[in-house]
C-alpha cells in the first residue's frame, strides 16, 4: 500500500488529509472516507485501519477536521464561531470536491457519525454508497440519559462529584475530573501504554476548544452548539445502506445503537461483545473483517 498526505486550503486555513492506497486499486470502487470523533480527536486512531485499503482494494481517506491535529492553526483560538456543524459539513463537502471523490462510503465514529448523519439528512449528499455508523448517536438527549444511567457503575463518592458539578456548572473540581476519568475508562478507552500501537501513543494536538464549544465540557452534559442535535425522527432520510457498529461497554449503549438501527430502513447492526467506544481498536480483527465483508458487496 501507499500513503499520500496533503493539505487542502480552505477558509483561510488548511485541512490535513491522509490517503492510503492499495497497490492495485479498482477504478470503479468508491473510496472510504473516515470521519473522526470529538469534535477534536484527530485522525490518528484511524491508522489502525490502514490495511483495509489493500484488503478491500479501495482507497481509504482520513483527515484532521478543522480545529485539531495537523489542521490546527493558532489563529483559531479566538474564533469560537467556527465550532458549529456547518463548519465541518462544509469542510467535508469541500474535501470530496477537492479530491474528486464523486462516490464514497462514509465511516463516522462517535461525533464523526453525527457528522455523517447531518451530511446525509441536511445536505442531501449525493454519491454516498453506504454509511458506517460506529459508536455514534442520533439523539444528544438519549446519549446524555444513557450516560447518566451508567453513573451507577461509579462509586457513591464519584456519583456525588458528578451531581455537584452538574448542579453548580463547575467542572474544575479535581474530584469531578477523577470521576469523569473513571467513567471514560469504563466506557470509552484507557490511556495508551507502551504496548499500544504507535498511532495511539503519538503526541497530538487535540481540539479541546472545538469540543467544549461544540459539545460541552464533558460527554454527559451537552451544552454547546451541538446540544440540540436530535435526528432520531429524521433517520428515515438516510437513504443509503447503513452498518451500525457498537460495543456492549460502549458510550454508545445498546439502546443508543438500537435507535439508529431501528430508524434507518436499510440497516444492519453489529454488536461487539466486551468492547468500549473504540471497537476498531479493541477487536480490530473482527472490525476489519466486517468492513471488508460490507464493502465487498458494494461499489
Averages of pLDDT over runs of 10 residues in the chain (299 residues) are 96 96 84 98 98 96 98 95 98 98 98 98 98 98 98 98 97 97 97 94 96 97 98 98 98 98 98 98 98 96
68 within domain boundaries: yes
37 within domain boundaries: yes
pLDDT at position 28 is 85
188 within domain boundaries: no
| Residue in 36, 43, 105, 277 annotated catalytic | 277
54 within domain boundaries: yes
- Cα–Cα dist 25/7, whole Å: 22
223 within domain boundaries: yes
116 within domain boundaries: yes
In the predicted model, what is the mean pLDDT of the chain? 97
Neighbouring C-beta atoms of residue 16, cutoff 10 Å: 20
Say how many domains are in the chain: 1
pLDDT at position 25 is 64
Is 250 labeled as catalytic in the residue annotation? yes
Q: What sign results for the dihedral spanned by CA atoms 2, 292, 273, 158?
A: positive
CB 296 within 8 A of CB 271: no
Long-range contacts, stretch 166-171, CB < 8 angstroms, 24+ apart = 166/221, 171/217, 171/218
CB 62 within 8 A of CB 37: no
pLDDT at position 79 is 95
262 within domain boundaries: yes
| Residue in 41, 59, 110, 188 annotated catalytic | 110
- What is the reported pTM? 0.98
Strands 267-272 and 13-21, by their bridges, are unpaired
Is 277 labeled as catalytic in the residue annotation? yes
Neighbouring C-beta atoms of residue 146, cutoff 10 Å: 21
Instruction: Give the domain extent around 69.
Output: 2-140+193-296
pLDDT 10s digits, 121-131: 999 999 999 99
14 within domain boundaries: yes
| Residue in 64, 71, 246, 250 annotated catalytic | 250
CATH (domain of 263): 3.40.50.1820
Amino acid at each position: 500500500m501507499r500513503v499520500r498526505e496533503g493539505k487542502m486550503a480552505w477558509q483561510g486555513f488548511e485541512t490535513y488529509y491522509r490517503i492510503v492506497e492499495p497497490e492495485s486499486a479498482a477504478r470503479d470502487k468508491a473510496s472510504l472516507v473516515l470521519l473522526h470523533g470529538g469534535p477534536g480527536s484527530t485522525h490518528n486512531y484511524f491508522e489502525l485501519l490502514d490495511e483495509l485499503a489493500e484488503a478491500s482494494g479501495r482507497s481509504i481517506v482520513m483527515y484532521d477536521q478543522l480545529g485539531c491535529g495537523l489542521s490546527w492553526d493558532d489563529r483559531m483560538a479566538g474564533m469560537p464561531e467556527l465550532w458549529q456543524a456547518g463548519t465541518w459539513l462544509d469542510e467535508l463537502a469541500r474535501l470530496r470536491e477537492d479530491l474528486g471523490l464523486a462516490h464514497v462510503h462514509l465511516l463516522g465514529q462517535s461525533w464523526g457519525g453525527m457528522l455523517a448523519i447531518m451530511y446525509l439528512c441536511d445536505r442531501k449528499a449525493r454519491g454516498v454508497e453506504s454509511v458506517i455508523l460506529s459508536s455514534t448517536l442520533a439523539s444528544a438527549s438519549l446519549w446524555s440519559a444513557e450516560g447518566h444511567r451508567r453513573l451507577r457503575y461509579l462509586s457513591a463518592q464519584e456519583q456525588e462529584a458528578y451531581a455537584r458539578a452538574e448542579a453548580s456548572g463547575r467542572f474544575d473540581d479535581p474530584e469531578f475530573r477523577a470521576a469523569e476519568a473513571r467513567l471514560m475508562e469504563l466506557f470509552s478507552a484507557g490511556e495508551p501504554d507502551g504496548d499500544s500501537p504507535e498511532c495511539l501513543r503519538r503526541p497530538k494536538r487535540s481540539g479541546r476548544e472545538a469540543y467544549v464549544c461544540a459539545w460541552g465540557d464533558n460527554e454527559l452534559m451537552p451544552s454547546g452548539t451541538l446540544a440540540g442535535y436530535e435526528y432520531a425522527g429524521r433517520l428515515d432520510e438516510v437513504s443509503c445502506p447503513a452498518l451500525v457498529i457498537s460495543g456492549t461497554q460502549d458510550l454508545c449503549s445498546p439502546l443508543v445503537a438500537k435507535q439508529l438501527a431501528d430508524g434507518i430502513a436499510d440497516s444492519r447492526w453489529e454488536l461487539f461483545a466486551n468492547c468500549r467506544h473504540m471497537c476498531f481498536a479493541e477487536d480490530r480483527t473482527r472490525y476489519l473483517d466486517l468492513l471488508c465483508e460490507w464493502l465487498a458487496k458494494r461499489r
